[in-house]
């Protein structure tokens, strides 16, 4: 019987969506679901939701839970990681401290000061998770959802190169689906190729019945001036290919927008957006917890086709069904003009043997140039943890495009010291020096 371990199962709404998608496949109706979280209350809520979800799907999985990570991992075939180290409080720190220095952020989970420190407090968890997996389930696939995706995948490659790791993110799926709707073609019938890095990949090809759809997108933008008031539309018009992540995310990875009041207004950039989303997620969890405690059934998960990638990976591993999805993995000859060994996002084929990334070749030079700037921050953040060198934290921040555009180098170093003090024991011991 297949065993799927959920690490960070206390992210209950996401756990429930994944379980709904998993258990919608008849071939997976009797899998073992092993849930782990360090928060006992959240773990209990996750287990109750798992049982409700199974009943709603007409499935009969074997559901177990434990506060012990290693116990949950024993014999696992697939491990899904979705831990948010530090939770809502750490997320607020990632926004509040930089804001006091005059640095704007929108999401703060991928690059920039927020992304750097989110990675640094996540790396100790990843190191322990990798060690446990190598000890008790060395052949399992680790499917990582936790951000910052590129930093986490590259760190795992550095500290546990034997582990089978792929990072999963839905941004390309939703970008293509939304763009196809905008130009009036069925998503299911389009062909596309996307590659780059997570949250800054590019739609390199996008076709319907052999017809390039970019001219149709140009016409849609020309017909609606409000579409041009979005960051990624602005980037597309200047760079020639559409970015695969939202404008809120995309604004943080370049130096051009967030430092300017006029650009924030022109492009309707929602500063501190994720702080509000995180608070809403916490409120949603509390509502589910209280509903379950009172004996009420939770509201149903939206009845839509399975869209998350992890259930598709698991289903292909079990059945051999061929699929193509986007994955984040180490660049071993996949993208020619991005650094070897960096974490990149490319298409991959799924089957019974595993996940097989596709070679893409070279990106258009202007796109590769932006991706290399992104990956400089990733490389230095990973180096800070692997080498135990606090100076590299500062170097990463200095190389971050949006941070460097907004602050002097003295202020960048002062901000890193303030963030280090604020996050304290969440950081690796060697990096707690201010």
What are 324's strand-pairing partners? 349
Confidence of residue 12 (pLDDT cuts 50, 70, 90): confident
Distance of alpha carbon 364 from the chain centroid: 24
Statement: residue 313 has pLDDT above 90: yes
Secondary structure (DSSP) of 86-117: THHHHHHHHHHHHHHTT---SS-SSSHHHHHH
Q: Find out whether 376 is annotated in a ligand binding site.
A: no
What confidence tens digit (pLDDT) does each residue in 256-298 have? 999 999 999 999 999 999 999 999 999 988 988 998 888 887 7
| Residues in CB range of 49: below 8 A, 6 or more apart | 12, 15, 16, 19, 288, 292, 298
Report the interhelical angle of 40-57 vs 273-293 (nearest 10°): 70
The two three-digit tokens of residue 274, written as one number: 């994720």
Residue 327 predicted with pLDDT over 70: yes
Q: What is the pLDDT of residues 174-220, one digit of tens each?
A: 999 999 999 999 999 999 999 999 999 999 999 999 999 999 999 99
Q: Where are the domains of the chain?
A: 3-166+298-317
Residues designated as active site: 170
Q: Quick check: 355 pLDDT over 80?
A: yes
On whether the CB atoms of residues 397 and 403 are closer than 8 A, the answer is: yes
Q: Is 147 annotated as a binding residue?
A: yes
Encode pLDDT of 361-414 as tens digits: 999 999 999 999 999 999 999 999 999 999 999 999 999 999 999 999 999 999
pLDDT band at 302 (very low <50, low <70, confident <90, very high): low
d(CA 427, CA 388): 11
Given pLDDT bands bounded at 50, 70 and 90, which one contains residue 359?
very high
CB 110 within 8 A of CB 199: yes
**Pairing mode, strands 3-7 and 32-36:** parallel
Q: What is the pLDDT of residue 433?
A: 83
Res 305 pLDDT > 60:
no
- What CA–CA distances, in Å, run from 407 to 92, 197, 411, 415? 20, 25, 6, 9
**Of the candidates 63, 32, 290, the residue with the CA atom closest to the CA atom of residue 140:** 32
Q: Which CATH class is domain 3-166+298-317?
A: alpha beta
Q: For the chain, what percentages of helix, strand and coil (3-state, to nearest 5) are there?
A: 55, 15, 30
- C-beta of residue 123 within 8 angstroms of C-beta of residue 99: no
Q: CB under 8 Å to 98, separation ≥6 — which residues?
A: 104, 105, 108, 112, 113, 114, 415, 419
Closest CA to 119 of 165, 161, 155: 155
Could you tell me which residues come within 8 angstroms of residue 192 by beta carbon, excluding any fewer than 6 positions away? 176, 203, 205, 206, 207
Pairing of strands 200-208, 242-243: antiparallel
pLDDT bin (cut points 50, 70, 90) of residue 303 is: low
Q: Residue 416: is its pLDDT beyond 70?
A: yes
| Model confidence at 300: pLDDT above 80 | no
pLDDT of residue 16: 85
Contact 257, 267 (CB under 8 A): yes
Q: For position 306, what pLDDT does the model report?
A: 57
CA dist 189 and 246 (Å) reads: 23
Is residue 313 packed enough to be buried (19+ CB in 10 Å), middle (13-18) or exposed (0-12)?
A: buried
Is the model's pLDDT at 315 over the cut of 60? yes
Report d(CA 163, CA 150) in Å as an integer: 16
């Amino acid at each position: 019987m297949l065993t799927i371990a959920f690490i960070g199962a206390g992210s209950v709404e996401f756990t429930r969506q994944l379980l709904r998608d998993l258990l919608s496949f008849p071939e997976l109706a009797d899998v073992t679901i092993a849930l782990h979280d360090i928060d006992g209350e959240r773990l209990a809520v996750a287990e109750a939701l798992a049982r409700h979800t199974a009943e709603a799907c007409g499935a009969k999985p074997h559901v177990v839970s434990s506060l012990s990570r290693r116990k949950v991992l024993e014999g696992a075939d697939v491990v899904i990681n979705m831990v948010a180290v530090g939770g809502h409080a750490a997320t607020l720190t990632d926004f509040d401290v930089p804001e006091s220095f005059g640095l704007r952020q929108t999401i703060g989970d991928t690059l920039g000061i927020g992304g750097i420190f989110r990675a640094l407090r996540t790396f100790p968890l990843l190191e322990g998770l990798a060690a446990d997996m190598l000890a008790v389930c060395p052949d399992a696939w680790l499917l990582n959802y936790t951000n910052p995706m590129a930093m986490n995948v590259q760190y795992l490659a550095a500290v546990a190169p034997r582990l089978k790791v792929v990072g999963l993110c839905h941004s390309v799926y939703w970008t293509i689906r939304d763009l196809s709707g905008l130009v009036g073609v069925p998503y299911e019938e389009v062909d596309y190729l996307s590659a780059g890095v997570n949250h800054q990949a590019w739609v390199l090809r996008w076709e319907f019945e052999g017809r390039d759809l970019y001219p149709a997108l140009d016409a849609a933008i020309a017909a609606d001036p409000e579409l041009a008031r979005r960051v990624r539309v602005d980037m597309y018009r200047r760079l020639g290919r559409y970015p695969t992540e939202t404008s809120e995310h995309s604004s943080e990875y370049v130096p051009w927008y967030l430092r300017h009041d006029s650009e924030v207004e022109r492009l309707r950039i929602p500063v501190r957006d994720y702080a509000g989303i995180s608070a809403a997620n916490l409120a949603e969890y509390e509502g589910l917890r209280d509903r379950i405690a009172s004996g009420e059934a939770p509201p149903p998960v939206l009845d839509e086709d399975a869209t998350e990638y992890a259930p598709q990976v698991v289903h292909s591993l079990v059945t051999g069904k061929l699929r193509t999805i986007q994955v984040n993995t180490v660049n071993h000859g996949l993208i020619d003009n991005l650094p070897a060994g960096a974490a990149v996002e490319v298409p991959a084929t799924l089957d019974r043997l595993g996940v097989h990334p596709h070679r893409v070749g070279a990106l258009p030079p202007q796109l590769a140039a932006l991706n290399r700037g992104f990956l400089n921050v990733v490389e230095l953040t990973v180096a800070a943890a692997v080498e135990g060198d606090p100076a590299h934290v500062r170097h990463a921040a200095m190389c971050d495009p949006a941070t460097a555009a907004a602050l002097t180098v003295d202020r960048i170093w002062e901000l890193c010291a303030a963030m280090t003090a604020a996050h304290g024991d969440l950081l690796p011991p060697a990096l707690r020096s201010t």
